[in-house]
Chain A
Amino acid sequence: MRRGASLFNIVSIAIGLAFLYLPISILVIYSFNASRLVTVWAGWSLIWYRELLNDTAILQAAWISLRVAALSATAATILGTLAAVALVRLGSFRGRLLFSGMVYAPLVMPEVITGLSLLLLFVAFNVDRGFWTIAIAHTTLTMCFVTVIVQSRLIGFDRSLEEAAMDLGCPPLKTFLTITLPLIAPAIAAGWMLAFTLSLDDLVIASFTTGPGATTLPIRIYSEVRLGVKPEINAVCTIMIAVVAAGTVVASLITKGGAARRQREALGAQV
């Protein structure tokens, strides 16, 4: 089968990638523009980054966002991994259909609905809204993404390792901790990172569930963006892109390194 070389394929990939990357590149480049106007290029400058350091409101919002994201991603990873284990390893149990329905539904549920319903829940039970309610909402939103990632990893790996351990008298919990967990660790790490970025990114659900004193970074950015383009916002966005890109590259290096090592070990075992 001919692979690659068709002109049509190369062109469609090139156009697709250009479409995906051009707007982000423009945003990054203009965060270094000395001029306030988008159309005027007045030379390279770090002035907007310096402005940012003096903007305490944005820095505070970023700090809140990071804490919410770390907390909710951790909770979502624990709950999501448990749900994945339940769906893959426990076979059929009572209420499985309802369970899997609840796990997958948040994936496609429009955010306005999730946000509204969670807010009404908090109001109905008279919960003070703020940091914790956003964290709970984000945990609920992101755990299903963790489940999907961990689930595909659990389905993919060799069960005989677990069975061997159990046959040799290893208790289930210990088997899970010493055999299963290390094997699915890359998926769990990827799930945590996805949950973290989704939480950092969310505007709609946070807007519904926030309270006084808990303005997250997206809420802050959104209120500024509504008033038009601001170079400071370009600078914030560039920093966020840089952090996420660095995180993704490091994560892929870790998992790739792990995969390569496992492959070598497997080869060694065969020889």
Chain B
Amino acid sequence: MRGEPQGRKWSRRAVVLLPCVWLVVFFLTPFVIVLKISLSQTALAQPPYSPVFDLSAGWAGFLDFARQLSLESFRLLFTDLIYLLSYLKSLQVAAISTLILVLVGYPFAYGIARAPRGWQPLLVMAVVLPFWTSFLIRVYAWINILQRDGLLNDVLMRLHIVDVPLIWLSSDTAIYIGIVYSYLPFMVLPLYAALEKMDESLLEAAADLGCPRWKTFWLVVVPLSLSGAAAGALLCFIPIVGEFVIPDLLGGSETLMIGQTLWTEFFANRDWPVASAIAITLLALLLVPMLFYERLQQRSLEGGR
């Protein structure tokens, strides 16, 4: 815009600059540091890695620093089976639970979208409300139910379905229950948004032309809700891969998910370079789904204009 008053230009600039500077300092720069430390080596020092980049040493110091960098941590990640199994376990848990979430969330979202108009805001609120209560509390609630002398075993034994208490906690089943429970709102809301926007005359047209209901559902409803399903699936899949709290509290100790492995390397083993290398690899793994998600997010926001 030409001929803009000076003051306006400055206020425009400030609007972008303030959040931008914050994000560059506290979101972008940290990743550069993580990358740097992933190329360092463990040392018995404070901070526990070397080389430490010393700005005062100038160019020679930088060259010296660059020469000491190594790919040792990454080599370890790809040769030691523990890490590989950890990644695979995370991907497996994320894929299976996302699939369960779609299967559970779809009928739920469909039911809400087909409910009487006046009821819909109330139902959406009922789905969102648990999301506002603490994540930790929701996982903890399941420990009450799943533990050995917990409610589930109590009910099963009173109904004489089982005679001895079953082990629910510390198993993959418990992880899946916890994840599906915690992430259900993230799946239902995008699905509902897509289903609710659907033009109902399309369904009427299909019915008028003699299309059976299941076929209408399959040929019209499902394809039109795919964008919502994709958004929900990505919104669940990406964070689940790096999930820490749920597997740590509900899962067993045989194969750790990658979030737990990173946590152990960092807090228990104090191996910062390996923890950083795990983070970098995880980020690389999730970059493509993340970009997909951003594309979807942008399109849905701009589409609403």
Distance to closest chain B CB from A231 (angstroms): 10
Distance to closest chain B CB from A116 (angstroms): 5
**A136 at interface, CB cutoff 8 A:** yes
Interface of chain B residues 2 through 17 with chain A (CB within 8 A): 7-8, 11-12, 14-16
Contact B144 A27 (CB under 8 A): yes
Q: Which residues of B contact A57 (CB under 8 A)?
A: none
Contact B19 A83 (CB under 8 A): yes
B241 to chain A: closest residue by CB: A110
Contact B150 A12 (CB under 8 A): no
**A142 at interface, CB cutoff 8 A:** no
Contact B130 A99 (CB under 8 A): no
Q: Which residues of A contact B275 (CB under 8 A)?
A: 116
Contact A10 B243 (CB under 8 A): no
Contact A112 B262 (CB under 8 A): yes
Distance to closest chain B CB from A43 (angstroms): 17
A23 to chain B: closest residue by CB: B141
One of A48-56, A85-93, A260-268 contacting the partner: A85-93
Contact A225 B305 (CB under 8 A): no
Contact A9 B12 (CB under 8 A): no
Contact A90 B16 (CB under 8 A): yes
CA distance A108 to B242 in the complex (A): 10
Q: Which residues of B contact A6 (CB under 8 A)?
A: 114
**B87 at interface, CB cutoff 8 A:** no
Chain B contact-residue range equals 35 or more
Contact A112 B304 (CB under 8 A): no
Q: Which residues of A contact B266 (CB under 8 A)?
A: 116, 208
CA distance A205 to B217 in the complex (A): 43
Q: Mark A225-241, 1 if CB is under 8 A from B, else 0.
A: 11011000110010011
Distance to closest chain A CB from B82 (angstroms): 17
Q: Chain A interface (Cβ within 8 Å of chain B)?
A: 1, 3-4, 6, 8-10, 12-13, 15-17, 19-21, 23-24, 26-27, 30, 37-39, 79-80, 82-83, 85-86, 90, 93, 95, 99-113, 116-118, 120-121, 123-124, 136-137, 139-140, 143, 147-148, 151-152, 155-156, 171-173, 194, 197, 200-201, 203-204, 208, 218, 221-222, 225-226, 228-229, 233-234, 237, 240-241, 244-245, 248, 252
Q: Would you mind naming 16 contact pairs between A and B with Cβ atoms under 8 Å apart? A: A3-B116, A19-B104, A20-B126, A20-B181, A20-B184, A24-B141, A38-B144, A39-B149, A39-B151, A103-B23, A105-B27, A108-B290, A120-B37, A151-B301, A218-B134, A229-B143
